[in-house]
Amino acid sequence: MNDGFLRVAAVSPHVCPGNVKLNTAEIIANIKYLASREVKLAVFPELSITGYNCGDMFLHSKLFDSAAAALKQILKETASLPILFYVGLPVISSGKLYNAAAACYMGTVKSVTLKKHIPNYNEYYEKRYFNPGAEAVTETGTSALIKLTSEKSGVNVISDAVCGAEICEDLWLPNPPSNELCEAGATVICNLSASNAVIGKDIYRRDLVKMQSARTISAYIYANAGRGESTSDCVYDGQSFIAENGVILAESEPFMGGSIIADIDVSKLNSERMRMSTFKVTETNFPTVKLNMEKKNYANLLRNFPRYPFVPADNNELAKRLEYIIKMQAHALCKRMSSIGTKTAVIGLSGGLDSTLAFLVTVKAFDILNISNKGIIAVTMPCFGTTSRTKSNAEKLAAAFDTDFREIDITEAVKLHFRDIGLPEDDRTTAFENVQARERTQILMDIANMHGGIVIGTGDLSELALGWSTYNGDHMSMYGVNSGVPKTLVRHLVRYFIKDSSKEIAAVLEDILATPVSPELLPASEGEQHTEEIIGPYELHDFFLYYFVRQSYSPEKILRIAKQAWKGVYSPEVIKKWLDLFISRFFSMQFKRSCLPDGVKVGSVSLSPRADFRMPSDISKNFLF
C-alpha cells in the first residue's frame, strides 16, 4: 500500500444457481484476472459459490457439501496469488445452516463472517433455511477483522487497512454490523449482497452505501449478484459500488456484470478519523488476523483526482454552491455590522478579482440589511503600477451600484515616506512594494474611523496559504469576507453575479475576469507585473492546498497525484517547482496567519487560527522530508 493506496474490486460474476462447478470456475477466473490487475482485495456477491436463489435445495446436504469442496478448490487454485478475497457460501455449525462470507488469502480461510440479519419479507424468505449468525466458531473458521500491513514486523502503521464484512440485509438495518466493525478499527467494509432490482431501489441502494461509508469514515465495497441470479419473479442487475467516506469511486453499469476496480486511500481514512475527535475506536472481542502484503507502487492510480478540488464539476451543483457561499459571506458580514452597530463599510476597490468579489458581497449584505449603498465607501488608490484598465473598472463598478466612490492618489504620500525612511525611489526591493500596500491600508482604516465604519478585507484563502500579502497592509482588515474562498473559486463567484446583472455591469465583470492577476505595485513603464509568473499558477496552488491541509498528504504523495491530475498541462518538473515553493511559503508565512482578522469560514479548508487550523508560527517543515 504505497502512499496508503489499496487496489480493490467488487465483482459480479456470471452465477448460475445450483451450478457450483460453473460458479467456482467463474470465481477462480475472476480472481486470477484481478490479481493480474494488481488488485489486493476483492469482494464477490452473497452465496456466490452456490448461487443465491437455490430455494429448498439449501436444505439438501449435497449442495453445501459441493460448496465446501468448491471452496477448497478455489483456495488451491489461488494459493499463489497475493490477493485477499471474500466469497459467499452456506456453512454448517452445530447442526445449523448459516449464510456466510469466507475471507480467503493464499490458500487458507482467514475469517468467516455469518449474516446476522435474515430477511423474511416480500420476496425474501431466508429464515426458511438460514439462522441469524452470531460471532461463533464455524467448521470453516472464525469471524475476524483482517489487517493488511506491509510492515514485516506487523507494526500498526497509518497506511494499514483493516477489513471487516457484513452481508446484504445487514446494511439495511438501523445499526448495521459495519458500525461495530468500524468502531473496532475496520477501515474497509466488504458487503456480499444479493439485492434484486426494483424501480427506485438502485438510487436508494447507492445512497445507502455512500452514506454508510461517510458515517463510518470507511471504504465500502458492495458486490451485488448479477443477472445470472434472475429467476421466477425476481431480476438482478449486479449494481455494485466502491465508496470512500461518502464518495462513490466506482460503480457498475446495470446488467453488465464483471468487476469494478478502484484505488482506495486508506491513509486518508485514518487521517480523517484522527481529525474527527468524536470518532472512537473501542476495545472489542473481535480477533484480528494480520496479512503481510508487499507494498505496491501502482504506476497509474485507478481513481480521479479533480484538478479543481474546491470547484464542483457538475454545473448544477456548482451553481448551488456559489449561491450558498455568497449568502454565507453576505450574512456573516451582516452579523458583524449589526453587532457593532455600523452602517458603513470601507473597501479598497482596485478593479482586481478579489476586491470585486468583496465589493459585490458587501453590496449583497447592504441589500439584506436594507441599507443604502451610499454607506459603502469604495476607495481606489492609484500609484506607480495602477493601469487605466483596472482603475476604470473600479470606477464603473462603484458607479453602477451607486456607492460613495473616492479616488485618492497615493503617489506623493508614498514618495514622501520613501524620503522619510531613506528608501531610494529607484529601489525595487520588497519595501518599495509594501510601502504602497501599507499606505492604502492606513487610508482605509482612517476613513473607517472617520465614518464609524469597518474595513472589508479582500484577501482570499489561496493568498493566505502562500502569505501573498503585506504584513499589516492588505493583510489587515476589520472583517475578511474572502478569507475562506480559494482563488479558483473566486473567479466562479464573480462570474455568478453576471447572470443577474445589467449589460453594463456584466461587461465590467467580464473584463475584470479577463484581467491577469496582478498586485500592480511596480511602475507600469517597467512592464506588467503578473502574480502567477512570480509565485506560480493558482490552480496548482489550490490543488496543493486542498491535499496538504484537508487530506494531510505528504509532498511526495501530492506530487504523485498532481502529475496524474495535471498530465498534459504541466510537466512534472514544473509541478515540482511550484510544489516546493508552496511548501516553503506555507511554513515560512504562518506568522501572518497567526494574527489574521476575523473572516467567514466557507468550506472544509480554513487557515484561521480561531477556526480549525492550528500551527505554530515557527514550526519547521523538515518533518515532511
Active site residues: 46, 115, 168
CA dist., res. 165 & res. 156, Å (int)? 20
CA dist., res. 11 & res. 239, Å (int)? 10
Q: In what order do the strands lie in the sheet containing 108-114?
A: 108-114, 96-105, 84-93, 41-43, 5-12, 258-265
CA dist., res. 190 & res. 103, Å (int)? 10
Looking up cell 484481478 gives 34
Helix, strand, or coil here: 86? strand
Distances (CA, A) of 478 to 357, 605, 608: 17, 21, 14
Question: Helices in 37-102 by DSSP H: which ranges?
Answer: 61-77
> What is the DSSP track for 541-608?
HHHHHIIIIIS---HHHHHHHHHHHTTTTS-HHHHHHHHHHHHHHHHHTHHHHTTPPPB---SS----
CA dist., res. 36 & res. 356, Å (int)? 54
Q: Which of 571, 547, 543, 566 is nearest to 557 (CA)?
A: 547
CA dist., res. 437 & res. 476, Å (int)? 10
CA dist., res. 112 & res. 101, Å (int)? 6
Q: What are phi and psi of 16, to 5 degrees?
A: -115, 115
Contact 447, 345 (CB under 8 A): no
> What is the DSSP track for 183-205?
HTT--EEEEEE-----TTHHHHH
Residues ≥6 apart with Cβ < 8 Å to 574: none
CA dist., res. 269 & res. 128, Å (int)? 39
Beta strand 345-348 with 288-292 is unpaired
Q: Which of 101, 167, 96, 173 is nearest to 131 (CA)?
A: 96
- Cα atoms in the 13 Å half-sphere on the side-chain side of 585: 20
CA dist., res. 11 & res. 28, Å (int)? 12
Q: Which of 377, 423, 400 is nearest to 512 (CA)?
A: 400
Residues ≥6 apart with Cβ < 8 Å to 404: 374, 375, 376, 377, 378
Residues ≥6 apart with Cβ < 8 Å to 143: 111, 112, 113, 114, 135, 136, 286, 287
Question: Helices in 409-517 by DSSP H: which ranges?
Answer: 411-421, 430-451, 461-466, 487-498, 503-514
Q: Which of 13, 8, 66 is nearest to 38 (CA)?
A: 8
Radius of gyration of the CA atoms of the chain, in A:
30
Q: What are phi and psi of 128, to 5 degrees?
A: -65, -25
Q: In what order do the strands lie in the sheet containing 479-480?
A: 404-407, 376-380, 345-348, 454-457, 479-480
| Residues in the chain, overall count | 625
